[in-house]
Amino acid sequence: MTVRLALDVADSVGESIVWDEARQRLNWVDIIGRRLHAFDPATGDHQVWRLAGRPTSIGLRADGGAIVGMERNICLWDFEGEPTPVCEVEPDAPANRLNEGVIGPDGCFWVGTMLNNIADDDSPRAAAEATGRIYRYAPDGRLNRLSDDAFAITNTFIWSGDRLITADTPANTLYSYQVGADGALSDRRTILQGFRRGLPDGSTMDAEGFVWTARVAGGSCLTRMAPDGRVDRVVELPCSWPTSCAFGGPDFSTLYVTSARFTMSTEHLAANPQEGALFALDVGVPGLPCHRFGA
């Protein structure tokens, strides 16, 4: 299987990639780099928006705009200027920040928090304590916490039938929850734990219902997992820290992968300049369109 270098962007922490089928382009964030990206693989057109704060995730809205997680606030954005805050998450937990954020099949923005692991000067900061929670922000402005379960780093939101698949990255564990009519999460089950290649980060689902997960922190690979947790395939990547993945292209046949270079030494980056790039590969199965906020 050939992995192609799609765009050499040198992201510090590329994350939260999503395919916009209306514009036929990819969107993703660079958290540490304070950048939002848009890339058309067919034309090579690449736009970059530089922000004052750190974007942690991005989703697409039904009206053509975007919804962006910005450290402590959920924001609306129309592909110009600074995102507009509409909801502060966890105002009573100032040491936390937002992390993963994905639009669910209910048209809501599902977002997780974590203890902030980034210092003011963008250097890494220890954040091992599990203080993160999962929330759902609805188009009518309501924000609800969905479970009392605590996470060290919230990652991965994938819906499989009436269940949510999510991850706690430092715990090296993927969980499955029953999703109630109001979004409340219950019946937590461990579906994959202790896989020996890196740690679970962002994920996407293919048309056969299997979940592709980027294995960050030295994993250098993607896993394809059945809904019951069985690892069906491992795909090697030319980057140490793959962070997120999404299917794109006119027929959703190409899998795109973001990566990170955060915490890597100057010597390592000199020998591996592709760290932090965007990669593309054909995995033999197509993906699915993303959900849109408010749809």
What pLDDT is stored for residue 15 in this prediction? 98
Whether 292 is in a domain gets the answer no
What pLDDT is stored for residue 127 in this prediction? 76
In the predicted structure, residue 140 carries a pLDDT above the cut 90: yes
- What is the number of domains present in the chain? 1
Tokens linked to 152: 């060290």
**What is the span of the domain harbouring residue 187?**
3-282
What pLDDT is stored for residue 231 in this prediction? 97
Percentage of the chain modeled with pLDDT above 70: 100
Q: What DSSP string runs through 62-73?
A: TTS-EEEEETTE
For the chain, counts of helices (H) and of strands (E)? 1, 24
Give the Cα separation of 22 and 115 in Å (integer).
Answer: 35
Q: Could you tell me which residues come within 8 angstroms of residue 155 by beta carbon, excluding any fewer than 6 positions away? A: 99, 100, 112, 166, 167, 168, 169, 200, 201, 202, 203
Write the pLDDT tens digit of every residue in 85-123.
999 999 999 999 999 999 999 999 999 999 999 999 999
Give the residue-averaged pLDDT of 36-56.
Answer: 98
Give the Cα separation of 24 and 3 in Å (integer).
Answer: 21
What pLDDT is stored for residue 1 in this prediction? 78
What pLDDT is stored for residue 228 in this prediction? 85
What pLDDT is stored for residue 29 in this prediction? 98
Give the Cα separation of 165 and 291 in Å (integer).
Answer: 16
Whether 155 is in a domain gets the answer yes
Tokens linked to 256: 């795109």
Whether 289 is in a domain gets the answer no
Percentage of the chain modeled with pLDDT above 90: 96
What pLDDT is stored for residue 227 in this prediction? 81
Give the residue-averaged pLDDT of 53-80.
Answer: 98
Amino acid in the structure at residue 199: L
Q: Which residue has the tokens 């980056």?
A: 269
Whether 294 is in a domain gets the answer no
Write the pLDDT tens digit of every residue in 227-258.
889 999 999 999 999 999 999 999 999 999 99
Write the pLDDT tens digit of every residue in 14-25.
999 999 999 999
Give the residue-averaged pLDDT of 120-135.
Answer: 91
Q: For residue 242, what is the enclosing H or E element?
A: strand 242-248
What pLDDT is stored for residue 128 in this prediction? 77
Whether 17 is in a domain gets the answer yes
Do 20 and 293 touch, CB atoms closer than 8 A?
no
Write the pLDDT tens digit of every residue in 167-218.
999 999 999 999 999 999 999 999 999 999 999 999 999 999 999 999 999 9
Whether 73 is in a domain gets the answer yes
What pLDDT is stored for residue 204 in this prediction? 98
Whether 166 is in a domain gets the answer yes
What pLDDT is stored for residue 295 in this prediction? 85
Whether 14 is in a domain gets the answer yes
- Residue 150 sits in a domain of what CATH number? 2.120.10.30
What pLDDT is stored for residue 220 in this prediction? 98
